[in-house]
Structure 1
């Protein structure tokens, strides 16, 4: 091969590299925008659900629509939104690898996970799934769309499952990796890992009543060791309500244990504060 052919190949390779960079840069921005829009809308929806008076006033102003029905409809729309967009990105990456005979699409999926823009792994999706299951009427109704979320809390590995099209299943582990029990008053750290509130606090060396967000800025996830994940931890309120509903006895036992531990920690904290103020 002569030098001109080699030069042409080098130029072609550089062009392809630049095209790849632009393609994946644009796709990363799109995925980030989708994740940001989704989390924002879920937070707004669940905030309305939590503050019933505010929710009532908001929806009454919208043509006197039934607040509960409107909330459930918004929940279904968000689930459809996240599934549609996540599958579209996956198909684009699969097609890209097939056309270009590369593994860059698979590498990009790993990058999405590490940068927390893979919307199917968002803790807000787990919250939305918990809300959708908690809101279901007893036994359900045949005329309602099938909920793609389900949970199995009776096994040794409790989990929530999201059923995607083509029988693809995503499973979210609900076992705390520290105490190895069903997560109690769960928090999701910035990396996405779920912990009991008390376990997350213990790992970060903060008191339970202070909460995980009181952890030092550099505190690391006990599982993946990513630093700085406590500041943006998500309190999984809807998941907590769902688990409390289905595991009443377990919840009661854990609540008593945590209450006793909080009392012990509070007494110890104020004893130390008193000694500091008095000077001995």
Structure 2
């Protein structure tokens, strides 16, 4: 079965009700944009059949490096759709994980809404649909970009992936995907037992010098996410994701942004840069990775406790020095 048919079947399958509330890639429409490229077809006609026979090229293949018509319509549409999908995915994962750690009336209303079914199983099902959602759309983007490069004989598809990273909307590099993986691994290690075969998509190795989480989409397609902080070069502790998508320990991120621990990343200046990509204005919307922190806490208990003591001691020290300096300024000493 061709991927286009597989993707259509997915959109109209058992998850159709879930997908009606989410954006998705207009795969068929983008393929039509490529087929309706008049400039490339004109160049193809002018090239002559003799040249095609000599090169053994496909009839749909064009030798131009880029196409103004496709570049204007195709990439603009693809960027918009990828951004909508990334926004939908992050908001739904954020909501799911918030419910996971909620209690009291909010948890009661959640269970009431689902007729008092097992709320853990409902959340697991929601998480499974979210993972299917992001991986299917990511594969669709990958396929349509390969189609573009095949038609135009260019490398614009690969360049576009770089642009997606620069705009922080590459789906399979989202920190929310790491949070979703940590959410599953935390369930997997709970007293509820093995939640199902789906959880085997995620694995985590924290004993190596380079701790990492791995997500297996298929036997041949795997993604590995480093759990090392690029500042202290140690396993992440109290991890935060900057809006550019890079992960750091909270203390390391605060140090990079030149703010104190007790002040938090929200107080960072707009000019503060990410230590990795040097993007500015990425600290104010930083998000605490609560599920990832819980995973590290459960699997690296001694390390986590030691880092907690160290961070608390540093926070007390910074607070004491800060208020002493404020007192000196106030009294004019």
- TM-score normalised by the chain length of structure 2: 0.77
Q: What residue in structure 2 maps to residue 245 of structure 1?
A: 298
**What's the secondary structure of 1:232's corresponding residue?**
coil
Q: What residue in structure 2 maps to residue 41 of structure 1?
A: 92
Once the two structures are superposed, the pairs formed by residues 6-85 of structure 1 within 5 Å of their partners are 16-53=67-104, 54-85=106-137
**What's the secondary structure of 2:200's corresponding residue?**
coil
The answer as to 2:200 corresponding to 1:147 is yes
Q: CA RMSD in A?
A: 1.9
How much does 1:142 deviate? 8.2
**What's the secondary structure of 2:222's corresponding residue?**
strand
CA contact (8 A) 1:60 1:66 kept: no
The correspondence for 1:212, drawn from 250, 265, 280, is 265
How much does 1:56 deviate? 2.9
Offset from partner CA, 1:32-72 (integer Å, 9 cap, x none)? 01000000101111111121221232222222221111111
How much does 1:216 deviate? 0.6
Once the two structures are superposed, the pairs formed by residues 1-280 of structure 1 within 5 Å of their partners are 16-53=67-104, 54-136=106-188, 137=190, 140-141=193-194, 144-280=197-333
**1:146–1:128 distance in 2 versus 1, CA, 3 Å:** closer
Distance 1:114 1:142 in 2: 36
**What's the secondary structure of 1:145's corresponding residue?**
helix
Distance 2:86 2:111 in 1: 25
**What's the secondary structure of 1:226's corresponding residue?**
coil
How much does 1:143 deviate? 5.0
**1:277–1:179 distance in 2 versus 1, CA, 3 Å:** same
Q: Which moved more, 1:254-263 or 1:56-65?
A: 56-65
How much does 1:273 deviate? 1.7
Distance 1:153 1:214 in 2: 32
Distance 1:129 1:45 in 2: 13
Offset from partner CA, 1:196-253 (integer Å, 9 cap, x none)? 1001111111111111221111100111211111112121111000000000000111
**1:62–1:142 distance in 2 versus 1, CA, 3 Å:** closer
Distance 1:189 1:142 in 2: 31
Aligned length: 270
**1:176–1:143 distance in 2 versus 1, CA, 3 Å:** closer
CA contact (8 A) 1:204 1:216 kept: yes
Distance 1:107 1:28 in 2: 13
CA contact (8 A) 2:241 2:288 kept: yes
CA contact (8 A) 2:185 2:199 kept: no
**What's the secondary structure of 2:228's corresponding residue?**
coil
